[in-house]
Homo-oligomer: A and B are copies of this chain.
């Protein structure tokens, strides 16, 4: 797939091969193999180079999504690996580590290639402790308030959104669901202790908190698939459902009378303004 992207970008099998560190015949045979599997010509070869066919650009676009996901995986993996002797030690809470950090690491690598970054993932308290103990240089936390002893800057606003399957009655609502009704409705939820669930519960406190859950599941994935199959509504981070919303596999339900938001913040020990690589990473993220 990377090869396909490289061919699209460079306009020649040989050049693409060189970029990937393989030889031209290897590239040629890979592309041929893929064409054979698909039964479709992907590139038009000519003595002056190769261009994608229509089918080829469609396949390449699909491939691009895979490659991008793989690059994020890789960036994250590298950071997990580089435990010791890394120049930048980052501690991050789960949502950020999962959805945002890989992208930031890729961007950072663009600015400072060769900088070893290490990642520790944990909850906000753990992140704060690491920073205070000098075990991390920069932290990222999600939540309503900043842990004590740390300076912070907001890098993003994470909205929690109420989502349902497209067939669910709420999907057709034009008027927002009142907070009271949301509080009274049994939802599909993560198990007690999940950060998202706590935020929702707190936000709905004045309406009596969350109703008894319709279903309690142990992973975000499980929640999503239950929602998709129409079991009921849930509340999830906008980051977790962006894809589903874009493709209308799920529908966002507007809610009234409650702020389901939480700040995503970069944090560091009080007074110690980030310098060096921390500063670079921060400048990639701080945007508001």
Interface residues of A, Cβ cutoff 8 Å to B: 1, 8, 37-40, 54-55, 57-59, 61-66, 68-70, 72-73, 76-77, 80-81, 83, 94, 97-100, 102-103, 121-122, 156, 166-167, 171, 219-221, 238-239, 242-243, 245-249, 287
Contacts of A243 in B (CB 8 A): 242-243
Q: Are B65 and A73 in contact (CB under 8 A)?
A: yes
Q: Shortest beta-carbon distance, A91 to chain B, in Å?
A: 13
Query: In the complex, what residue of chain B is closest to A241 when comparing beta carbons?
Result: B246
Q: Are A69 and B65 in contact (CB under 8 A)?
A: yes
Q: Shortest beta-carbon distance, A155 to chain B, in Å?
A: 8
Select A80's contact among B39, B69, B83, B221, beta carbons within 8 Å: B39
Select A58's contact among B54, B94, B238, beta carbons within 8 Å: B94
Contacts of A102 in B (CB 8 A): 62
Count of this chain's copies in the oligomeric assembly = 2
Q: Are A37 and B81 in contact (CB under 8 A)?
A: yes
For the complex, give the distance between the alpha carbons of A40 and B102 in Å.
17
For the complex, give the distance between the alpha carbons of A25 and B64 in Å.
33
For the complex, give the distance between the alpha carbons of A103 and B250 in Å.
12
Give 23 pairs: A residue, B residue, CB < 8 Å, sorted on A. Answer: A1-B73, A37-B77, A40-B80, A54-B121, A55-B121, A58-B76, A58-B121, A59-B73, A59-B77, A59-B80, A61-B98, A62-B73, A65-B73, A66-B66, A66-B73, A68-B69, A100-B247, A103-B247, A103-B249, A156-B248, A167-B287, A242-B242, A248-B287
